[in-house]
Structure 1
Amino acid sequence: MEVFHLLWSLCSKALLIALFLLVVALLVYCLYIKYIHLKYDHIPGPTRDSFLMGHSATLKRIMKNDELVHDKVIEWSETYGSVYRLNVLHYVFVCVTCPEATKEILLSPKYPKDKFVYRRLFNLFGQRFFGNGLVTVQDHAVWYKQRRIMDPAFSSLYLRGLIGTFNERAERLMDKLSDAADNNTEAKMLHLVNCVTLDVIAKVAFGMDLDLLTNSSPFPKAIETCLSAMGYYIRDFTFEYNPMNRRFVREAREACRLLRTTGDQVLQERRTAMQNGDDVPNDILTQIIKTADAEESMTEEDKEFMLDNFVTFFIAGQETTANQLAFCIMELTRHPEVLEKARKEVDDAIGMKQNLSYEDIGKLTYLRQVLKETLRLYSTLPGISREIQEDMVIDGVHIPGGVSCMLNSYAVGRMERFFKDPLKFDPDRFHPDAPKPYYCYYPFALGPRSCLGQNFAQMEAKVVMAMLLQRFEITLVPGQTFDIEDTGTLRPKSGVVCTIKHRKNKD
């Protein structure tokens, strides 16, 4: 009995000590948060929801109400100016809509990718996701090595050789739309262009023939799940630990594993084929492996980077382009004068040609303007974050170093400060003779860390849109919303459901 009392006494003391240390730790943490507040509270910003959690309740409420955080960014910027502050726990995020600061931050290597955001993208609920791929890697030397490996696969000469695949996959979409026209059935354009862009990146980059317009595949659902999970994972610290979300978290981990397992298999098979001297497609994957093998040393971590980049390109190479195409179709159906002008250009430039050449798409100047204007209004990947490591002044506001800086291309693209009548869809903003937007248009980012695949994406978008305008009349099904859905990237919530008719008169 005495032993029991002794053990109970020791356990009680240990528990009290643990509780005391926990209280002390909490007090120290609260003091640290107070210090952070004192350091950064001279920067204007909305009132915090709470001392500890900062503005997280507001952000969670926006997501719960199925609203856009990016619209709130515009509202806050108009209220508090081109520099304002948000708090979450001990983290401070400085949101910037100042073009001069955007130029400085994005064009200079002094401002690395933000640890808070990009470390969160390394894993997805504990499962390796983008890892240290080209988009997420923070170390400049590691990024430079990866970029040097990737560059040849996206050279202008190589991209010219991809036009045949763009034509072939776009033609499959035209066949699908022709069936819809013949059978008088509605076409869910967002789904269809998602299938096409995923087909293209799978074929062109990795030699995978998915043919998603005909065959079922787990990849579209896996990508959608990963992107949705990414949005929650970055913005809501507590999402993973809420019992109500366990099923979704499990599905997200499984989706991530599917993508990485597939990537590993594709990489291993291609490398083995190349080592055996077999014929292999001259695609982006082959180019990446050849260039990587030319390195003086190829470590296991370098191979893991290649797998990270498989996931990165598999997702980024299709999702944003598909969303851009869907938004573009939606806006053209809402603006018949723009649609007719784009169609006339296509008719004049390519006529009845079935296969477009690189030179053909180079003639489509107005269509390029239409696609650019689409990205101004609907920057499909709107958020960019960098780390301000040293003190700087932005628009008269002193920013102490050691803070995250958030830049939002969606927000600046919709602000009257930078674009007259910003909600009007006007492709002439991007006419060759029009003044260029001064560092307030950056849907592919800017500077050395800008999107490597932007020329690839815009070539693909031009081919699809040119064929679509050449052959079909498209009308939105009445009753759809024009709302935007935030699933990590931005997409049309309605799915852009259309009725399709063959063009009768192309003169």
Structure 2
Amino acid sequence: MAVFHLLLILCAKALLILLFLLFMAFLGYCLYLKHIHIKHDHIPGPPRDSFLLGHSPTFLRIMKNGGNIHDQFLEWSEEYGPVYKVYMLHFVLLPVTCPEATKEILMSPKYPKDKFLYKRLFNLFGQRFLGNGLVTAQDHQLWYKQRRIMDPAFSSLYLRGLMGTFNERAEKLMDKLTEVADNDLEANMLHLVNCVTLDVIAKIAFGVDLDLSESSPFPKAIETCLKGMVYHIRDSMFKFNPKNRPFIKEVREACRLLRATGAEWIHNRKTAMQNGDDVPKDILTQIIKTAAAEENMTEEDEELMLDNFVTFFIAGQETTANQLGFCIMELGRHPEILEKVKKEVDDVIGMKQDISYDDLGQMIYLSQVLKETLRIYPTAPGTSRDIPEDIVIDGIRIPSGVNAMFSSYVCGRLDKFFKDPLTFDPDRFHPDSAKPFYCYYPFALGPRSCLGKNFAQMEAKVVMAKLLQRFDFTLVPGQTFDILDTGTLRPKSGVVCSVRHRNYKN
């Protein structure tokens, strides 16, 4: 009995010590948080929701209500100016819309991608996701080595040789739309362009013909990963809520599916290369060459190949599909712009089926339409950088150690950069029009700008030109024009259209 009593006393003491240590740790964290607040008090910004949580409750409330978090940043930018502070727990984020600071930071390699965001993209809920691939690598040398080896797959000469595949895959979409028009059906255009861009990236980047029937697991897997990415980045407590476990399991399984697919395709290509077979100089070949540059392949090098596979598989499909969806939506809302771009397409390509590389350069107004789409709806809305040393932005001293956020979405909708910013006006991008600097960057800027920019815009032009050449489309009444924020931005409605064959007799 005495022994049992002694054990109770020891347990009670241990519990008291534990509680004391937890209290001291909490007190220490609070003091550290107070120090962070004092250090940045001179920077303007919205009032915190909470001493401990900062502005996190605002973001979580927007997400819970299905809103677009970037609209909140736009509102704050209009109220607090070209640089202001936002707190996520003890992390200090600085949304920046100052063009001079944007140029200084994004154009220089001395400002690395920020640890807060890009480390969280390494894995999703414990399952490796983008890892240390080309988008997420923070070490400049690791990134530079990958980028240098990837460049040949995106050279102008190589892209010119892809026009046949762009045409061929876009024709599959035209065949589907022909069925829709012949049967007087409605078409979810976002779903259809998602299928064609996924088909294009699989064929051009990885040499694989995908079965994109309704049973295909890839569109759902990509959507699940992106949705999981948003919660993983913006809600630190999401994984601790038991109600979220089924969804977290889905996210992990989706990541595993994409990486397992990559492992299979890489193995098949490696085998072909070892057998001396002719292989295309595509992204998959370059991914393998990245790893082959290492003298001794390690397990991490194998994982790095899969990191880049997942990066290109998702980025090469998702953002272009969303741009096409938004473009179709805006043309449906602006018949006069639609007619003008149709006339240009007719003048340049007429009735011919295969669009040439030179044809793309002549469709100037279509380029303006696509650029204006990305101004209002940048499908990858922004990027961020670590600030390793003190700097001054718009006359405000910025201490080192913060993360600077750059939003093309916010800049594209600020009246000080674009008059009547919510008006869809492709003439803003007329070759002779004056353009503000360093406030339009849907593909980022500087050395870490998007490697696939030209690839994406060639693909978008081919798809849109064929669509405009062959079909008339009108938006089905009653749908919303809201934006769905899934890390990337997409039309919430799906852009449902009535589609008809064009009548050239008129």
Match of 2:379 in 1: 380
Give, in whole Å, the separation in 2 of the partners of 1:208 and 1:287: 15
Match of 2:402 in 1: 403
Match of 2:139 in 1: 139
Match of 2:275 in 1: 276
User: What pairs up with 1:323-362 in 2 under 5 angstroms?
Assistant: 323-362=322-361
Contact (CA 8 Å) 1:190, 1:322: kept in 2 or not? yes
User: What pairs up with 1:40-439 in 2 under 5 angstroms?
Assistant: 40-212=40-212, 214=213, 216-290=215-289, 292-293=291-292, 298-439=297-438
1:174-211 CA deviation, whole Å, 9 max, x = no partner?
A: 00001111000001000000000001001111112114
Contact (CA 8 Å) 1:153, 1:288: kept in 2 or not? no
Give, in whole Å, the separation in 1 of the partners of 2:37 and 2:473: 54
How far apart are 1:291 and its partner, in Å?
Answer: 5.7
Give, in whole Å, the separation in 1 of the partners of 2:386 and 2:290: 31
How far apart are 1:282 and its partner, in Å?
Answer: 4.6
How far apart are 1:437 and its partner, in Å?
Answer: 2.5
Contact (CA 8 Å) 1:333, 1:339: kept in 2 or not? yes
Contact (CA 8 Å) 2:120, 2:233: kept in 1 or not? yes
More divergent stretch after superposition (435-444 vs 286-295): 286-295
Give, in whole Å, the separation in 1 of the partners of 2:290 and 2:416: 45
DSSP 3-state at the match of 1:500: strand
Give, in whole Å, the separation in 1 of the partners of 2:430 and 2:299: 48
Count how many residue pairs are aligned between Structure 1 and Structure 2: 506
Match of 1:470 in 2: 469
Give, in whole Å, the separation in 1 of the partners of 2:176 and 2:2: 83
Give, in whole Å, the separation in 2 of the partners of 1:420 and 1:262: 46
1:238-283 CA deviation, whole Å, 9 max, x = no partner?
A: 1111112111111011101110111111111211221122344453
DSSP 3-state at the match of 1:491: strand
How far apart are 1:10 and its partner, in Å?
Answer: 1.5
How far apart are 1:287 and its partner, in Å?
Answer: 3.7
The letter of the residue matching 1:357 is S
How far apart are 1:297 and its partner, in Å?
Answer: 5.5
Contact (CA 8 Å) 2:146, 2:290: kept in 1 or not? no
Match of 1:26 in 2: 26
How far apart are 1:43 and its partner, in Å?
Answer: 0.7
Match of 2:485 in 1: 486
The letter of the residue matching 2:395 is G
Give, in whole Å, the separation in 2 of the partners of 1:161 and 1:487: 33
Contact (CA 8 Å) 1:68, 1:486: kept in 2 or not? yes
1:332-390 CA deviation, whole Å, 9 max, x = no partner?
A: 01111111111111111111110111111111111001000000000111121101111
The letter of the residue matching 1:379 is P
Q: Structure 1 runs of 4+ off > 4 angstroms? A: 294-299
DSSP 3-state at the match of 2:66: coil
1:445-489 CA deviation, whole Å, 9 max, x = no partner?
A: 000000000100000000000000000000001111100000111
Match of 2:497 in 1: 498
How far apart are 1:286 and its partner, in Å?
Answer: 2.1
1:364-421 CA deviation, whole Å, 9 max, x = no partner?
A: 1110010000000001111211011111111111110000111111011011010011
Contact (CA 8 Å) 2:287, 2:309: kept in 1 or not? no
Gaps of 5+ in 2: none
Give, in whole Å, the separation in 1 of the partners of 2:450 and 2:192: 24
The letter of the residue matching 2:145 is K
The letter of the residue matching 1:453 is G
Contact (CA 8 Å) 1:317, 1:453: kept in 2 or not? yes
The letter of the residue matching 2:442 is P
Contact (CA 8 Å) 2:231, 2:238: kept in 1 or not? yes
The letter of the residue matching 2:457 is Q
Contact (CA 8 Å) 1:392, 1:400: kept in 2 or not? yes
The letter of the residue matching 2:396 is V
The 1:72/1:54 distance shift into structure 2, 3 A limit, reads same
The letter of the residue matching 2:475 is L
Give, in whole Å, the separation in 2 of the partners of 1:90 and 1:180: 53
How far apart are 1:302 and its partner, in Å?
Answer: 2.8
Give, in whole Å, the separation in 1 of the partners of 2:346 and 2:488: 33
How far apart are 1:436 and its partner, in Å?
Answer: 2.4
TM-score, normalization by structure 1: 0.98
Give, in whole Å, the separation in 2 of the partners of 1:171 and 1:294: 38
Match of 2:439 in 1: 440
DSSP 3-state at the match of 2:23: helix
Give, in whole Å, the separation in 2 of the partners of 1:506 and 1:141: 60
How far apart are 1:506 and its partner, in Å?
Answer: 6.9
